[in-house]
Structure 1
Amino acid sequence: MFYRQAGIHHTTYRGDRQLFPIPFERWQLAALLALALAAPILLSSLYMKSYVLPWLIWTAAALGLNLILGWAGQFHFGYAAIMGIGAYTAVHATRNGIPFEIAIVLAGAVATLIGCAFAITALRVRGLYLALSTLALQFVMDWVINKVPAVSGGTQATIQAPPLRLLGIEVKSDAGLYYVVLVWCVLVTIFMLNLRRTGLGRALVAVREKDFAAAVIGVNSFYYKLVAFAMSSFIGGISGAILIFTFYHAVTPEQFAVNVSIQVLAMVIVGGLGSVIGCYFGVAFILLLPGIVANLIFAGAQAMNLKIGIELLAHIPSFLYGILIIGFLLFEPLGLAKIYTNMRNYLIFWPFGYARK
């Protein structure tokens, strides 16, 4: 019905390798982009700043982590530290007169440099040992940020981010900040969608599946793992900088602690490893669902005049949120992207379900 494939003929290699060969998917993508561009008009400023803006920023960050975790199959428990490196680099650069356009590139470059320095030693091990090595990166950077005044200003210090300026023009409006985030998220999404169609993407998947087998067919697993860490760190560094300049407007050590690394990791796993659209779903699930559940419970308690303590009301959303995650992982361990794929496949063959057998 919607995903009708009748009349679609792949007569060239280029046509066969299209990102969206089905016309409905192209129309769907165009509609989503139109809604994204019109979001500042359709939504209130509160919803834009509280929901849409952080959703897009963390989606870009989750895509960067998914590159190393889903594509290359390497654990990374220090991704928040990478984002923090980019954030502090961009803030210090702009405070010293460097334009924002150069500062965010510098943030990605410094994050890549430090991430690769740790990766060179960490990639000599694999599995849980690699996870512990990247966790060491998180703890080392936490110590540096907290104990080196030249970086953070002190243990509990807060560094105010300068106003965001593009081409010398200050971006003040919520709509302007939103479009900056939207452009970055779209660029990362396009990069990830095209990555899996390239030789680099196929090499990363080969390393993920079995690095020994990849080495047999001529794929240098250490080199491609290092490239994956470099690209992931670059995306993470810029995402951390954009998070500060468009959402927080100030940087503190607590914003990039180890719990943030675990949160981003949960976004990728719940959304689906190696899936681009899964990152959008996973970030929405992890980041937005707790607030929505909390609002629904508070509204329900007030409507029914329930005498529930404030502390209990505050913990009920977390309890239900945990149940949702556990139940979801039990029934669909491949992530929210798998549910979307199942629905898409059903619509492709509907109403001729027998064609799949």
Structure 2
Amino acid sequence: MGILSPAERLIAAADPSEPVETGALTVDLGALAANWRQLAARADGAECGAVVKADGYGLGQGAVMRALVKAGCRTFFVANLLEGETARALAPDAVIYVFDGVAPGCAPRLAAAGLRPCIGSFAELEEWAATGALLGRRLEAAIHVDTGMNRLGFPPGDAAEAAARSSGVAPTLIMSHFLSAQLPDAPVNDRQIAAFDAARAHFPGVPASIAASSGVFLPQRPHFNLVRPGYALYGGNPTPGAANPMRPVARLSARIVSVRDLAVGDTVGYDGVFMAQRPTRVATIGAGYADGLPISATAAPGKAAGEAVVGGLRCPFVGRVSMDYVVLDVTDAPREAAQRGAWVELLGDMIEVEELASRARTIGYEVLTRLGRRYARRYLGG
């Protein structure tokens, strides 16, 4: 056999298990289940549900729900009717609440899927009761009280009237939502707990819930009967400013598709926002803002750029993040790790979701829920 050319050697060494995509998202379902169990243990005997809206925070509602059901979760929260119908197909025996409540005209489908809307207005209450009357039964629902978010829910002053007018439905939960639970010393937390206590007194015997991810960790321990974590399940830090108690769930990597050397004065990307100040080696990876890497992770005066880990070394984004590509400064990275075809880490052990979000001047919730559909997806432990 003759001597192989570099291209032939590359083809011969190709791993058929490698994804053809230039970006890869690995979801650790074992870590997800472990996070749920940790939150359940912290809930002082309250039931631990799970928020699986926005396609399981971008990680895949189907895989996420199956793993959580296997771990023991029996109550789920979604944003809207379509997410609820998907959840019902995935978990036929689960309790499923819909944060949107009774969107106009959706009551028959909510009832048909056995979903429980989070009702926050008298119009919704009347529509849900009327739908139940047509079906010959009182339909189950959560009663949502707004204790400060000013987004959804009955004002606390309407709680008594809401209770009086709930005879046509079957309330199974009274709920509210913290607005600053990530700040354990915020005075508004105590005010909201007090307002919620006053409102739930009008619904004796009905289970109560106010704590989402950060609320589970508040010193007041406002766990009531049910906690409903979301972000923390997926590895997000529910205690900003302190060490993250959750295990990372999402790992994101991208493949280098091109490497080149720049001379001093050469620019990179649209509008030449980066100019090389020294001889610079750059690598282009096959992921961009269409894949959920925020364009705001582009370097700006006084603001750090996003980074990727190349051969154990952090390498900054240079130039503008574009739709399909990000360019990295790999001048100081090991040559063998910064070559065409190599994989670099964007989220993982060295870069958590909060760090990527901070460098992009956004929040980890947005980073997770915008992860694109072009990634090769691999699920571990589920």
The answer, yes or no, to whether TM exceeds 0.5 is no
| TM-score grouping bracket, smaller chain normalisation | under 0.3
The structure with the largest helix share of the pair is: 1
TM-score between both structures, scaled by the size of structure 1: 0.24
- Which structure's CA Rg is the greater one? 2
Q: Comparing both structures, which one devotes a greater share of its residues to strand?
A: 2
Instruction: Give the TM-score, by structure 2 length.
Output: 0.23
Kindly indicate whether structure 1 or structure 2 has the higher relative contact order, using CA contacts under 8 Å at least 6 residues apart: 1
